[in-house]
Structures are given as C-alpha cells and as structure tokens.
Amino acid sequence: MNTWQDKEEFKKIFTVKAHILWEKELQDLTPNEVYQTVAYMVRDLVSEDWIRTNQIYAEEKAKQVYYFSIEFLLGRLLQSNLIGVGMEDVCRAGLKDLGWDLDKIIPEERDPGLGNGGLGRLAACFIDSLAALQLPGHGCSIRYQYGLFNQRIIDDQQVELPDNWLVNGFPWEVKKVDKAVNVRFGGNAYMRPDGEGNLECVYEKYSSVRAVPYDVPVIGYHNHTVNTLRLWRAEYSREDMYRELSMGDRHRAFRYKNSVQLISRFLYPEDSTEEGRKLRLMQEYFMVSAGLQSIVRYYKKKIKESMYDFDHYIALHINDTHPALIIPELMRILMDEEGMNWEDAWKVTVRSVAYTNHTVLPEAMEKWSIPMFKELLPRIYLIVDEINRRWLKEVRKRYPGNEDMARNVAILWDGQVHMAHLAVLGSHSVNGVAEIHSQILKDSTLHQFYTCFPARFSNKTNGISHRRWLIQSNPQLADLLDDTIGTDWRRDPRRLLDLKGYSSDGSFLEQLGQVKKTRKEIMADYIKKKYAMTVDTSSIFDVQIKRIHLYKRQLLNILHVMHLYYFLRDNPKVQITPRTFLFGGKAAASYGEAKQTIRLINVVARMVNTDRRVSKQMQVLFLENYNVSLGQILFPAADVSEQISTAGKEASGTGNMKFMMNGAITLGTMDGANVEIHREVGDDNCVIFGLRANEVMDYYIHGGYSAWNMYGQDENIRQVMNSLVDGSLGYGETFDMLYESLLDRNDEYFVLKDFEPYCKAQVEIANRYHDRRHWLHSSAINIAHSGYFSSDRTIMQYANDIWHLRKMIH
C-alpha cells in the first residue's frame, strides 16, 4: 500500500499537489481547498491498489457481488478513508505543521446524503464491510444531483431546502465516459416469428438515455482492497438533441433534454412509504439497466465464460424491491441479446438474483399501475407479463380452485405490478433483516410464497460498521478499549466481548464514565454554538434520532415529556435525576402527521425550556437536519437509546446498534433487532416495555382495542391529549391531525395503549441511572455485546450463505 512515510513527506506532497490544483501559495488556500487537496492525495495513495484489485478479480475470475440499492447514505469520506489507509495521524500532524487543524478541515466535505435513513445507511455499511473483509463486492446506484433535502426549523416547523451537495465538486469520484451505456424507455414492443419457428421481440420507437458511470473507491481497512461504488448519471444524447433540433421543433428538443436530466436529479425523500411517481420508476429501471449492461459487458470481455454460467461468477443483490426490475432486465438481455430460450434464461436469472426485504408496512410495498408501467417499459412489461402467466399457471395447477393463493402470489393483480412478488419469485434467496422481521415475512407478509419455496427464506440480522460508528466517531472510547483489551477488536469486533472481564472493574468503569462525560460535553458545545442553549451534562441524555414516522412513535416520547413536565410543574418539591430529551429526524415533505410531530416537539421544547420551575430538571431540544455527520456526534453522547416503535413494525432498526456500541442503554419495545439486543445483554442491561408483536397482531385481527377507552380510563392520557387541542401549548397552538390519529382513527400504532408502560419504563431508567456504578456496568455490557452487530458479521453471513464469495488476499 502506498503511504506517506511521515509528516514531512505529507507536507512535501501536499505542497506540490496544492500548487498544481489551485495555483496558489499555501497560506492563501481556503479550508475547502485544503480538504480537496487531501482528498485527492488519498485517492493518489489508493489508485494503484484500486486498479490492482480489479485486475485480481478478473484474473482469478473471483465470484463478485453487485449490491444494487436506490440509496447509499455514505456520510463524509475523508476521515473514514484516511483511517482506511492508516494515515489519519500523519495527515493530522502534517496539516498541523502547515497551520491547519484536521478537525476543522473534515467538515468542509459536504455530507453525501444519497439516502433517506436506515436502508441507505445499511448499504453504505455493507460496502464498507465488503472491502474490509477483502470480499469482491461493489455497490451500484444513482448519482443524484441533489441528495436528501436539508432540514431547517423555522417557526417550529420543518422547511425543506435543496441539498446541492456537488457545488464544489466531489473529489472521490471518477467519471468513466468510455463506460457509458444507453437505457431505452417508451416506444413499442411486440413479438413476431423469427423465421426459424421461434418468436423474437421487436422493440422500436423508443427514446434513449445515456447513462454515464461515476466510480467511487471503497477502501478496505488496512488491506490492499479497493472495491467500487458505481453511481450512474443520466445524460441526454447530443445526437438525439441535434436530430430533434434539425427537425425544427425546439420545444420538443428541450423537453427531451430536461426530461432526461430529471432522471438523476433528485432522491425521493420518502422512507418506508411508496412514492407512486413515474419518475421514480424511471430511476429504478435506469439504475438497473445501466448497471446490468455494464456487468454483462465486463463479464463477456474479462471473464469470458458462457452466459449459461453467469451465476457462477456474478451475484446480483437487490436492496428492497427498488432494483427488482433487474429480474426482467436480465431476462431481456439473456433472451433478446444473447439468444437464450425462456427456460434457460429464467434458471440463470433466479440463480443470480437475491432479495432483501426491509419492511412489512403495507404502504411501503411497491406497486405500479400497469398502464404506466407498460407505456414506460414496453419490453420489460412483456417479460413481466409472461413471468406472471407462467407462474399463475403453475400455481393453479398446484392449488386448483384456490384463487386466494393465486391472488396472494400474483405479480400482476388488480391493475398493478407487485414488485415484492416479482422479487421473491425471481430470486433464489429472500431474507429479512432481523429475526422477528424474518419470522413475520414467513408467517404473514409472504406466507404463501413461503409455503411454495420454504428453502428460499432466511434471516440476516442487520449490522453497522464499527469502523465508522466506533473507531471514527468515538475515538475516546476506541482508545479506552485499546488500553483495556488491546487492539484486536478493531479487526475482529467480536473481541469486544473481552470487555466483559472488566465490566465490574471500578477503575475501568470510572474511565468509561469519563469518556461518556467528554462526549456529552462535545455534544453540549455543539448545542451551545448552534442553539445558544446550555444543556446540563450531568443530566441523562435521552435520545431519539431517526426518520419521523407514526410507527416509530416519536409521539409516545413527546407525550411522556409533556406528562413529566405537568408532573414536575404541579409537584415543585419532587426532585428527579435531570433529563435532556434530544430529538432529531426528517419528515417526508408530504407526511402531514410527521411534520406536525416536529412542530409539537418544538412547541413543547419551548414551553419546558422557558419554564424556570422545571428547566433545571428537564430540557428538550429538536436538533435540526439529522444526518450521518450529526449522528457521529449524537450516538457517542447518548445515555438512553429510544427504540420505541410499535412491536412488529420496525423491520430491524440500526440506530439501536449504534447507540449500543457507544454504551447507551436501550429503552425499547420487543421490535426489530431490539429483540436480539435484549437477548445479548439481558433484562438487567436494557429496559423493555409495551405490547408484543403477537398482541398487536391479535388486536388488528380480532379488534378489541379502543383508544377512547384508554382516554376515558387514564387521567394522565386525558391531560396530555386535551392539551393537543385546547390551545394550552405555546401560543394557543393545536395539533388536530395528531389528536385525530390517536383518537378518531383509533390509534393505529397503540401509542395510548403503551403510554403507561412507557412511563413506568422511564421511571425504571431514572432509578437505574441513580446507581452510577450499576449503570456504567450495564453500559460496558452493552459495548461488549455490540460486536455481534458489526456489519462484518452480517456480510460474512451473506457471503457464505447467499453469495458464495471467497476472500481475495493481495
């Protein structure tokens, strides 16, 4: 691996590089120019390894996985890449000599926010683990010109601002003009006899979009592996533009240009809900077709094996259903371009593709209207129609007269294309992302498919990169771990278990307490600078950060905050352990209830923070624009991790794991990966409350839950509910939509049902925190067991059980 020998060499190279890039003297460089200079220097370090990695994969014909995801929520790359090449300290020292502070340079990088939340961040952790484990695997996605919107809070409410993250360029990417491909949309497709007794497809009058790849290096951890994240950008073809212009219709020509450029302009800001826009369908096909065409071209040019053996060398993974069109697209290429028959093409396709499901919320299941689908993708529609026809024929033969069965597994039904059904049928592997979630898939969401293909289903519990979420974001804790158990855990996070031997060691626990204190002070400084607010660092930092969604129940949290406030206000003699309630998260712009929840949190925060009677005992703050970078400050500072979704709704959650790894105690329901966290640490080291998934399910199936009864029976619920609509909050503000969802719409997510158990769980948290030594012990146990939640473990499971990859040492 290329490195900088020492800080002297760093400074020499930096000087030359900066002069070439900026034609300036060093003292005139802006911080952003310093950032870019270092970024390009890191790229220079890895460029040989990047080329070499690809060479080795091709020479050895290693099986490679392509991880297709409509989102990759990378976060900033400078520090993680410096850590990857082992050069953070040299760089820091060199910059210091030249008069710059690396910690002030790092924030110059715009946070690449090409994702909404957990699904996109999971994809980023996965490619990080692939490279760290020296596995041949690459990411494939879209180079959105605008990432997820920037959130501002104005007059208590969320305002969405465009995230023009590419303004100063993105030094990590390499545009590969020679690797561009064309993706076709619209036109007509039909079958006709080919003269040899078979049918062939004619596809005509389509319009072409040029897909240009931008490659980003994915740098392993202290090894020579550099994999690739390939991001596609849509460009109009100049020829098509000139042809239109030459035909005299300038408006048509510019409409064409604009419509093409729109394809890679915005990331859809929806999380866990279906966004039924035509442009989104175009994005999905654009990504899949461009990615697959380039894979097939590479396969033929470099691997040079038969297309019938494609699946021996290539694994295609789809992150939720957004890339599920890879199934008919591969069928199209194998049949229309490689001349394979249907049966053989289907075999190769199913053996190549594997699918991960990330949600069981019905509103998040992707469905497209058939007329729109057909118009946009006529050739792909013919293939999907044929897949469906053959499949239903088989189902009706196997289950004669059982139309329920047919309905539950059909790909085309009720005028819609059901993407999850297509994904299950066209894959050899289907997995959920936590045990309870995988069980729900088998028992209900995909039950009929499970009876047809039981062997396809498995669980792969999510994980997180301990490199980003511990080594990088919490160096204080990482150093303490090194001093206590040695450094092996950095390569093998399961070794964190060694910490159990110190979980009752008084001097270790004191140091652990000191680290947490330091991280809370860093958080407090951020809050002081940004909000001119002083938070009490000896208070319990109680944090809920995630997308705002009714099922995640930020409402439950804030209703408890309101209850606690009323209680303290009315009982001035009561002393509690002081609390700081921190919230963060974005709401989809069109999600009224979520946006009203943000306003409620902000209104309550002002009421609490300005009331001198209680503000020594509790404070509340909504942190603006939660993203990866803010997460890196928040997770290390948290004492309590709020994981309070309605049981059965959160497929996994991954923030829960980031908190745990940084020593926070989980306050949660038996949902998603909380179940496994609870199993790892036991009742003593987390606080579980509320309805279980089966109880929630029973209420949905048999009824018997009345939100109004809860309201009638519980005085505390009445008090907080009334205040939502009686004008007693803020300046007479009301929250009708939230009130209605809780009472008139019968509280779909059981907020009121779980209210009292949640309040009790919060008392339990306070009691435990009171015993500092016991709390720190729990904190240590959580860190020790967090190694299980490293995405390295998750990726090894995918690599062994689904992709069949082998480690490539070089």
Q: Binding to ligand TH1 (CB under 6 A): which residues in 668-707?
A: 672
| Residues β-bridged to residue 213 | 232
Asked if 271 is part of the footprint of ligand TH1 (rule: CB under 6 A), the reply reads yes
Distance between CA atoms of residues 349 and 361, nearest Å:
28
Asked if 433 is part of the footprint of ligand TH1 (rule: CB under 6 A), the reply reads yes
Helix or strand (DSSP H, E) at 716: helix 715-725
Distance between CA atoms of residues 688 and 670, nearest Å:
7
Distance between CA atoms of residues 375 and 188, nearest Å:
8
Q: Spot the catalytic one: 233, 358, 367, 460.
A: 358
How many positions of this chain bind ligand TH1 (CB under 6 A)? 20
Q: Binding to ligand TH1 (CB under 6 A): which residues in 397-416?
A: none
Smaller CB distance to ligand TH1: residue 122 or 710?
122
Asked if 118 is part of the footprint of ligand TH1 (rule: CB under 6 A), the reply reads yes
Q: What is residue 591's three-state secondary structure?
A: coil
Asked if 284 is part of the footprint of ligand TH1 (rule: CB under 6 A), the reply reads no
- CB-based contacts of 327, cutoff 8 Å, min separation 6: 349, 353, 387, 422, 423, 426, 427
Asked if 544 is part of the footprint of ligand TH1 (rule: CB under 6 A), the reply reads no
Q: Spot the catalytic one: 552, 560, 649, 753.
A: 552
Segment interacting with ligand TH1 (CB under 6 A) among 79-87, 203-211, 588-596, 649-657? 649-657
Find out whether 423 and 325 touch, Cβ atoms under 8 Å: no
Q: In the bound complex, what is the minimum distance in angstroms from residue 139's beta carbon to ligand TH1?
A: 15
Segment interacting with ligand TH1 (CB under 6 A) among 26-34, 50-58, 264-272, 480-488? 264-272
Q: Which of 424, 368, 352 is nearest to 391 (CA)?
A: 424
Segment interacting with ligand TH1 (CB under 6 A) among 110-118, 152-160, 290-298, 659-667? 110-118
Asked if 364 is part of the footprint of ligand TH1 (rule: CB under 6 A), the reply reads yes
Q: In the bound complex, what is the minimum distance in angstroms from residue 355's beta carbon to ligand TH1?
A: 13
Segment interacting with ligand TH1 (CB under 6 A) among 268-276, 447-455, 474-482, 565-573? 268-276
Q: Where are the alpha helices (DSSP H) in 532-585?
A: 554-570
Q: Where are the alpha helices (DSSP H) in 275-377?
A: 278-298, 310-313, 326-332, 342-352, 370-376
Smaller CB distance to ligand TH1: residue 652 or 782?
652
Asked if 358 is part of the footprint of ligand TH1 (rule: CB under 6 A), the reply reads yes
Smaller CB distance to ligand TH1: residue 113 or 117?
117
Residue 664 DSSP symbol = P
Smaller CB distance to ligand TH1: residue 144 or 775?
144
Smaller CB distance to ligand TH1: residue 671 or 747?
671
Helix or strand (DSSP H, E) at 424: helix 419-425
Smaller CB distance to ligand TH1: residue 462 or 632?
462
Segment interacting with ligand TH1 (CB under 6 A) among 58-66, 224-232, 266-274, 726-734? 266-274
- CB-based contacts of 448, cutoff 8 Å, min separation 6: 405, 408, 409
Known catalytic membership, residue 654 = yes
Alpha-carbon dihedral 765, 771, 776, 778, rounded to 10 degrees: -50
Q: What is residue 805's three-state secondary structure?
A: coil
Segment interacting with ligand TH1 (CB under 6 A) among 49-57, 142-150, 571-579, 646-654? 646-654
Q: Spot the catalytic one: 658, 768, 777, 793.
A: 658
Find out whether 37 and 21 touch, Cβ atoms under 8 Å: yes
Q: In what order do the strands lie in the sheet containing 618-623?
A: 618-623, 579-584, 540-545, 640-643, 665-668, 687-688
| Residues β-bridged to residue 730 | none
Smaller CB distance to ligand TH1: residue 272 or 669?
272
Which residue among 33, 111, 642, 650 contacts ligand TH1 (CB under 6 A)?
Answer: 650
Structure tokens at 327: 């199934």
Identity at 517, one-letter amino acid code: K
Q: In the bound complex, what is the minimum distance in angstroms from residue 273's beta carbon to ligand TH1?
A: 7
Distance between CA atoms of residues 687 and 464, nearest Å:
22
- Is the four-CA dihedral 125, 131, 132, 136 of positive or negative sign? positive
List the end-to-end C-alpha distance of the chain, in Å, as a whole number. 10
Residue 336 DSSP symbol = I
Residues in the chain: 810
Known catalytic membership, residue 358 = yes
Which residue among 79, 272, 427, 778 contacts ligand TH1 (CB under 6 A)?
Answer: 272
Q: In the bound complex, what is the minimum distance in angstroms from residue 590's beta carbon to ligand TH1?
A: 13
- CB-based contacts of 744, cutoff 8 Å, min separation 6: none
Known catalytic membership, residue 679 = no
Binding mask 285-324 for ligand TH1 (x = CB under 6 A): -----------------------------------x----
Q: In the bound complex, what is the minimum distance in angstroms from residue 460's beta carbon to ligand TH1?
A: 10
Q: Spot the catalytic one: 138, 466, 547, 553.
A: 547
Smaller CB distance to ligand TH1: residue 368 or 508?
368
Identity at 655, one-letter amino acid code: G
Which residue among 213, 463, 653, 690 contacts ligand TH1 (CB under 6 A)?
Answer: 653
Residue with the shortest CB distance to ligand TH1: 118
Nearest 5°: the CA angle 644, 462, 165 is 85
Q: Which of 201, 209, 204 is nearest to 382 (CA)?
A: 201
Distance between CA atoms of residues 552 and 654, nearest Å:
13
Which residue among 108, 109, 111, 270 contacts ligand TH1 (CB under 6 A)?
Answer: 270
Asked if 163 is part of the footprint of ligand TH1 (rule: CB under 6 A), the reply reads no
- Is the four-CA dihedral 139, 140, 145, 151 of positive or negative sign? negative
Q: Spot the catalytic one: 121, 546, 563, 793.
A: 546
Known catalytic membership, residue 794 = no
Please report, as ranges, the residues that interact with ligand TH1 according to CB under 6 A.
116-119, 122, 270-272, 320, 358-359, 364, 433, 462, 650-654, 672
The catalytic site residues sit at 358, 546-547, 552, 654, 658
